[in-house]
């Protein structure tokens, strides 16, 4: 019962983060299961089974709050579903941990870029909240890479798609997050189908699945509301910092950095993140006041 409560709480906060920042449910939940000694393939299979319910709730919530770009959802979802199924088959025989350090390095660089983009460069989000038209040759490979790594790493659809789409000129953070979260529903179904075919139903722990579902479904509407209320410039800095912190942990662990040095590095990054948030809030508050005074 104690483990069920812990997993439910983790599911709640993981979905709250995922629905607000467009990533982290799979990574957070998988990390917990791996900490309990669960094999990567079984952990990913259990998380994807739970995500069928949480991504459905999240997608519906984001749609109702107007956070979804309908023109991008299916162009991401269809190629992502194909590669997610392939990733599930691949993970059934090869450990997913071998790939994580490489993708984490790529995401870390993207996180740094996004953080500084929203911190330094004024982003033209427009008044209608629409993305600039994205071409198939850009979206299809992106979705296939993200879908594959989502199955292999137990999470990756959001961490790969969200930063890349946010890095595009004219990107609106809440639209990117809502679209990525909504399209993830198809990826979770495809990945789960692959795991069931190659691992079998008996490998999935239904107690864990239920716990994550309970917490995640309750958090989904709240997260969709938050992403609509939080200003775009704050959300961009929050996403960038979160990407950096999440992937720095994987890299530091892989290269076996001493725990005391890791603590110092994390303290510096967190302080820098806080300073960035305060800076962008003060700068935009000042700009808003000047605009009102000019009016």
pLDDT digits (tens, 9 = 90+) for 184-229: 999 999 999 998 898 888 777 787 788 888 887 887 787 777 767 7
Looking at residue 31, what is its pLDDT?
Answer: 66
Distance of alpha carbon 184 from alpha carbon 56, whole angstroms: 9
Give burial (CB, 10 Å; 0-12/13-18/19+) of 241.
buried
Tokens for 40?
């990567």
Question: Of 207, 187, 146, 234, nearest to 56 (Cα)?
Answer: 187
CA geometry: angle 68, 74, 80, nearest 5 deg: 115
Distance of alpha carbon 223 from alpha carbon 211, whole angstroms: 18
Flag the least confident range among 38-52, 67-81, 173-187, 261-275: 38-52
Average pLDDT over residues 10-20: 72
Distance of alpha carbon 51 from alpha carbon 38, whole angstroms: 18
Count of domains observed in the chain: 1
The pTM score is: 0.70
Q: With cut-offs at 50, 70 and 90, classify the pLDDT of residue 251.
A: confident
Flag the least confident range among 20-24, 170-174, 226-230, 240-244: 20-24
Mean pLDDT (the chain, rounded)? 78
Residue holding tokens 């001493």? 258
Looking at residue 166, what is its pLDDT?
Answer: 79
Looking at residue 131, what is its pLDDT?
Answer: 45
Looking at residue 128, what is its pLDDT?
Answer: 44
Q: Which domain holds residue 261?
A: 2-294
């Amino acid at each position: 019962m104690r483990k069920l409560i812990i997993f439910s709480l983790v599911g709640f906060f993981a979905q709250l983060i995922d629905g607000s920042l467009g990533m982290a449910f799979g990574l957070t939940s998988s990390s917990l299961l791996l900490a309990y000694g669960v094999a990567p393939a079984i952990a990913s299979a259990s998380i994807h089974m739970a995500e069928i319910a949480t991504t459905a709730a999240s997608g519906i919530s984001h749609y109702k709050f107007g956070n979804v770009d309908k023109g991008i959802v299916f162009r991401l979802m269809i190629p992502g579903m194909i590669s997610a199924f392939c990733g599930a088959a691949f993970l059934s025989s090869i450990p997913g941990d071998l790939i994580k350090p490489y993708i984490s390095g790529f995401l870390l660089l993207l996180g740094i870029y996004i953080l500084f983009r929203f911190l330094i460069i004024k982003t033209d989000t427009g008044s209608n909240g629409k993305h600039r038209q994205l071409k198939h040759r850009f979206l299809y490979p992106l979705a296939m890479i993200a879908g594959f790594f989502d199955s292999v790493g137990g999470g990756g659809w959001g961490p790969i798609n969200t930063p890349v789409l946010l890095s595009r000129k004219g990107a609106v953070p809440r639209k990117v997050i809502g679209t990525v979260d909504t399209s993830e529903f198809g990826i979770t179904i495809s990945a789960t189908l692959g795991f069931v075919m190659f691992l079998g139903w008996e490998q999935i722990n239904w107690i864990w699945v239920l716990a994550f579902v309970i917490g995640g479904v309750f958090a989904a509407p709240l997260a969709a509301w938050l992403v609509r209320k939080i200003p775009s410039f704050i959300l961009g800095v929050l996403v960038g910092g979160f990407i950096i912190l999440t992937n720095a942990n994987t890299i530091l662990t892989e290269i076996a950095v001493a725990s005391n040095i890791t603590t110092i590095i994390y303290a510096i990054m967190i302080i820098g993140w806080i300073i960035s948030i305060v800076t962008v809030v003060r700068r935009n508050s000042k700009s808003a006041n000047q605009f009102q005074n000019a009016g």
